[in-house]
Structure 1
Amino acid sequence: MRFKAVKDEIYPFIQFANSFTSPKNLNTVLQNILIDAEPDGVTLRATDMQVGFSGKIPVSVEETGTATVSGKKLLDIIKEIPDGSVIDFSFDGSKINIDSGKSSFKLSTISHEIFPTMAEITPEYYLKIKSSMLYNLLKKTSFCISTDASKIEYTGSHMAVYGDKLEISAADFQRIATSSVKFDEEYSNEFMINIPRKTVMELLKILDEDEYVEIETDRKQIIFTIGQVKIFSKLIEKYIKSITKLFANDLPLQAKLNRAEFLDVIKRVSAITSEVTHGVVLSFKPGTFTVYSLETEYGTGHESIDDFEYNGEPLDIIFNAKHVAEMISNIDTDYFYLHMVGERNPAVIIPETGEYKYLVVPISINRY
């Protein structure tokens, strides 16, 4: 195996591939990246057995061949080579030689024959969507994916197709996020799958590699194809069938709030909140709207907000400031609506425009 590549061409692919290795795994080969030099380019592969990466780089190959090397060490070496440098890769049967300018390195290898591959799938469902659309859907919802493995169905991003509509939703135990987009054409097969959090986070790093992303799934695995990059992933076989059901509830109380002002106030007041609850009180009264911190050993804080509209009776409702701030940070309109029922009921946050919305559960403690 021998080929040459400019650092700027190969380094991003090494970064991507290294994210899919399993550095702490006792199976050393899962810490490695497979390098496959073919006549029409070089393919890098990596997997931790749950999610996998494959990316093809159209570089000039002098001699074909295959080898695996430590992903971390390969990344560390290529990172320090000056930008724009030409790097010469060659394999002598036991080590990969990396030469650039006056620098020369030899990396030990493991037989590529024991390198695992993701299982083949026979796609039952196919979807093609603009990368920018999928990126926005995932970005506006992925922060709500739970990291608590005790409820496996909450640890992924729910992707559902209903005719001409794609809906992506995520939930932990205090909030729900959902975002949707409509296609120009209608897909006849309706389906729902649950994509693991790690897959979603890695996908967000790569979605700008091409204009479109193709999605194939058999309900147990999924393949995302983005230009010359493929991401393979096992799916979470449990999912929440009625994940967005709570959005259908009637919410008679409505406040219209300035996004930037509200976010700034929440961040300032939350500086003195409890490290456990991060509790802040949204206090609506005739003509006034004030954000209070719950009293803690550190003290209290409050600040009033001028730019708001509210149509209901006086109401104090307590939220986790971090949860609310994260939701508001993902809104891209100047104003948003907060729909409520009462101090103990879930509230819904909706932007002025856009096919996405959030539900947040209040903290059930008394203010005083």
Structure 2
Amino acid sequence: MKISIERAALLKAVAQAQSVVERRNTIPILANVLIEADSDTVTFRATDLDIEVVDRAPAQVERPGATTVNAVTLNEIVRKLPDGALVTLADDGASGRLSIEAGRSHFQLATLPKEDFPVMASSDYETNFSAEAPVLRRLFDKSKFAISTEETRYYLNGVYMHVADGDGSKVLRCVATDGHRLARIDAALPDGADGMAGVIVPRKTVAELRKLLDDDETQIAVSVSETKIRFATQDITLTSKVIDGTFPDYSRVIPTGNTRKLEVDAADFARAVDRVATVSSERSRAVKMQLDEDRLILSVNAPDSGNAEEELAVAYADEKIEIGFNAKYLKDIADQVDRENAIFLFNGSGDPALMREGSDESAIYVVMPMRV
């Protein structure tokens, strides 16, 4: 194999591949990226056996072929090469080395046989549809903060993507929860998605998918089966196993009887929560909200370190209420608000609170209270 490729195109492809590779693994080939050159295209493939990413880039292919090389090392080399460099990758197939040349720089990296590289088995995808990048970006960006990190509750370690009944029509919905807070985000149902089985997209896959969604003009081809999900652009294909588990009935924890309504500037609220939480102990991070007519007092009382209080002008016309929340959970939820105002709906001091973005009910958030 011998190819010449622009440094920028090579870096983009290798960076995407190396981020999938697990740094610590017992199978040496999994630390490598499979490089395949043919015609005028070079393909970079990496996997951790649960996720596979394939990135295609244009190249001058002098000698077709394939080899595997350490993904992290290759990425570091390419990252440190000068902008605009033309990089030559060459492998004679006999020496067990990949030669990398750019200007006066020359490297040789050990290779492993391409035959040893595991390729994720293809799947029969029952559902295939296309979605615009901004739609998927909103669904996953606004829900991923609530993904659980508890490995014992593995079925919560991802975003549950499924078709649901919305307000008068079916919607594509993403839900995440860790038992303390919940995010439920809806989007219009794309053509062809109607029969999709609900799948739990793992946390790592959500992070890798985000890199495909930066360009607002990109269309993402989505394919779903019971065991796998695939996201594809013109240049990149991301395939992942889905979590083999049953997502809980989240509708049971979304309150429907909360009538005490608070309207507050979302950015001001998030900053105020962050400020008063500075004095709280790291373990609990509890913030008390005291609501009275058009007034909100946020306070923290940490006997070991001090106390803090901040008052905000708000729109509130219901009975007085005092309720406590984990400061990080409150701030995480407030940070999701794209609109100017956040609307909180409360019931009692021991009941979960509901939040939405202004009058938009396509995104709702639930946070459980704390004793303060």
Query: With structure 1 as the length reference, what TM-score do the two structures score?
Result: 0.96
2:327 is matched with 321
Is the contact made by 1:164 and 1:184 (CA closer than 8 Å) also made in structure 2? no
Is the contact made by 1:324 and 1:360 (CA closer than 8 Å) also made in structure 2? yes
1:228 is matched with 235
Q: Aligned residues, how many?
A: 364
2:246 is matched with 239
Give the direction of change, closer, same or farther, for the CA distance of 1:3–1:190 in structure 2 (3 Å limit): closer
- 1:342-367 CA deviation, whole Å, 9 max, x = no partner? 1110001100144211100011x2x3
Is the contact made by 1:4 and 1:59 (CA closer than 8 Å) also made in structure 2? yes
CA-atom RMSD in angstroms: 1.5
Please state how far the C-alpha of 1:208 moved relative to its aligned partner.
2.7
Is the contact made by 1:213 and 1:224 (CA closer than 8 Å) also made in structure 2? yes
Pick aligned residue for 1:213 from 220, 229, 240: 220
Alignment of 1:1-368 (within 5 A): 1-93=1-93, 94-162=96-164, 164-183=170-189, 185=191, 187-208=193-214, 211-306=218-313, 308-354=314-360, 355-363=362-370, 365=371, 367=372
* SS of residue paired to 1:191: coil
Please state how far the C-alpha of 1:289 moved relative to its aligned partner.
1.4
Q: Structure 2: how far apart are the matches of 1:236 and 1:86?
A: 41
Please state how far the C-alpha of 1:295 moved relative to its aligned partner.
2.7
- 1:55-111 CA deviation, whole Å, 9 max, x = no partner? 111222111000000011101110110111111111122211100111000011000
Please state how far the C-alpha of 1:244 moved relative to its aligned partner.
3.3
Q: Structure 2: how far apart are the matches of 1:33 and 1:318?
A: 49
Moved more, 183-192 or 198-207: 183-192
Q: Structure 2: how far apart are the matches of 1:38 and 1:139?
A: 36
Give the direction of change, closer, same or farther, for the CA distance of 1:60–1:245 in structure 2 (3 Å limit): farther
Please state how far the C-alpha of 1:12 moved relative to its aligned partner.
1.1
Amino acid at match of 1:143: F
Moved more, 240-249 or 173-182: 240-249
Q: Structure 1: how far apart are the matches of 2:323 and 2:20?
A: 42
Amino acid at match of 2:280: T
Please state how far the C-alpha of 1:186 moved relative to its aligned partner.
6.5
Is the contact made by 2:130 and 2:191 (CA closer than 8 Å) also made in structure 1? no
Amino acid at match of 2:174: I
Q: Structure 1: how far apart are the matches of 2:193 and 2:222?
A: 13
Amino acid at match of 2:111: T
Q: Structure 2: how far apart are the matches of 1:294 and 1:46?
A: 50
Amino acid at match of 1:32: N
- 1:102-130 CA deviation, whole Å, 9 max, x = no partner? 10000110001010011110011112100
Moved more, 270-279 or 181-190: 181-190
Please state how far the C-alpha of 1:190 moved relative to its aligned partner.
4.4
Is the contact made by 2:126 and 2:196 (CA closer than 8 Å) also made in structure 1? no
Give the direction of change, closer, same or farther, for the CA distance of 1:184–1:56 in structure 2 (3 Å limit): closer
Q: Structure 2: how far apart are the matches of 1:216 and 1:136?
A: 19
* SS of residue paired to 2:307: coil
Q: Structure 1: how far apart are the matches of 2:288 and 2:255?
A: 25
Q: Structure 2: how far apart are the matches of 1:284 and 1:241?
A: 33
Structure 2: gaps spanning 5 or more residues: none
Please state how far the C-alpha of 1:274 moved relative to its aligned partner.
1.4
Q: Structure 1: how far apart are the matches of 2:294 and 2:145?
A: 34
Is the contact made by 1:129 and 1:213 (CA closer than 8 Å) also made in structure 2? yes
Please state how far the C-alpha of 1:331 moved relative to its aligned partner.
0.7
Q: Structure 1: how far apart are the matches of 2:309 and 2:331?
A: 16
Is the contact made by 1:259 and 1:336 (CA closer than 8 Å) also made in structure 2? yes
Q: Structure 1: how far apart are the matches of 2:233 and 2:18?
A: 18
- 1:4-49 CA deviation, whole Å, 9 max, x = no partner? 1111111011011001112210111000001000113000000000
Amino acid at match of 2:79: K
* SS of residue paired to 2:250: coil
* SS of residue paired to 1:282: strand
